[in-house]
Structure formats: C-alpha cells, structure tokens
Structure 1
Amino acid sequence: MPALSRRQALTTAAALATAAARITAAPAPAATAAGHHDPHVPAPFDEVYRGRRIQGRPATGAHAHHGTGCTVLIDGVELHLMRNADGTWISVVNHYDPVPTPRAAARAAVDELRGAALLPFPAN
C-alpha cells in the first residue's frame, strides 16, 4: 500500500473539515421551539398599503421552490420575488431597484403599479 503524502493528508483533512462545516451550517427552520425567529426568513405581514392589500408569509408547498423563503401577495396575486446575494430583494415589477425586505418590495411594486392590477407571473 502506498504511503500517504503530507499534501494528500492535508487536502483530505481540509475537505473533511469543509464538509463538516457545511453540514453543521444547514439552514434552520423559520422558528425554533423557543419561538426565536430565523433572521434569514422574513417575518410575516398583512397590511393595506395605498388601498392595496399586501401579504407576506413563509413559503410552503409549491412556493417553496423559489428559494426565497417567503410568498408575497398583492390583492391575492403572487408577486414573484428574488433575493440578491447581498440580502436585498427585487421583484418582477421593480427589478432594478433592490430593497431591504419583502414588505418593502411589495410596497415598491404597489407604487410602481400606480393602481394597475398585478398579473400572475407564469411559472416555468
């Protein structure tokens, strides 16, 4: 059996350490048993903004595949959201104007729609 070189041993150890770190850094659920909220999952909201009902809640079922962790609705129609690498949010309505939260994205979309109806975004 060939001897293991120092380089091979260090490379293997680094790969194992990286794999272990990724396993322990797996995403946590939205709320823990103690009731603490995960900062990566936006808090739910439900309000009327400029005469339009905007709602946000944790994504479940078919909506969970978007990877944003939340579903936002304007008057019952889903606003397709995307999360940027820097933690900001954009939507199909205001794609070039990042905002800090899904609630801010919903409000910005209402502002941009100027009373027009939000049309459903076709899913692929």
Structure 2
Amino acid sequence: MSKQIVYTDQAPAPIGPYSQAVKIGDTLYVSGQIAAELAPLGDIQAETRKVMENMGAILRAASMDYANVVKATIFVKDMNNFAAINEIYGSFFTGDFPARETVEVARLPKDVNVEISVIAVK
C-alpha cells in the first residue's frame, strides 16, 4: 500500500516536521490539531470548536468526515475543562462515538489548552 500525504489550506499548516495527515489504504491518521490561530487563548469551548473544525477540514481533504473517525486522543492542560471539551467535541458526532482517551498534560504546543488527534477509516 502506498502512503498518501493529506494537506489542506483550510487547516493550520504543520508547525514542525510532520504532515497534517497520512493516509494508508482506507485508514487516515490525523496529527494533533490545535487552535493556535485563536487569540487570545482561554475560552476552552472556542478552542475545542476550532480544533474540531480544523479536524473536519482535514477529514474532508481525505474525502471523509466525522462519521469515519474510529479513535480520538485528547490532550488537555487542565482536566477541570473535561466537561466543556466533551460538550463541544460530542456535538461533532452523531450516533456511534469513536473510541477515545483523554490525558492531562503539563504543556501543549503554542501554549494552547487542548489538542486532538484522530484515526479515521473509510
């Protein structure tokens, strides 16, 4: 199987040596997305919404959508934001939710408050 790099200008460009997403066969691996373009940071719901919108743009670039997501990983700076993140994150899915873990971390790139990566299958 060949590896296809997926890129869209509808989501922020990578800030390091990685791709927005890589597709192998019918599986898409989307790198962690952040909302660094929001300023000032601090509204966790706005950040989460922007992250999910960026994710959607990448999924669309691979001819997929949120229904194709089978696994998500969420990194948060403050687990006290768990409920607020869940509210926004959950609104992007209908029906069967993907598998997921949520991990509190000390710091995220660009000092954002939330980062989300996903795996999607067509």
What is the TM-score of this pair, normalised by structure 2? 0.23
Structure with greater Cα Rg: 1
Q: Answer 1 or 2: higher relative contact order, Cα 8 Å, separation at least 6.
A: 2
Structure having the higher strand fraction is 2
What is the TM-score of this pair, normalised by structure 1? 0.23
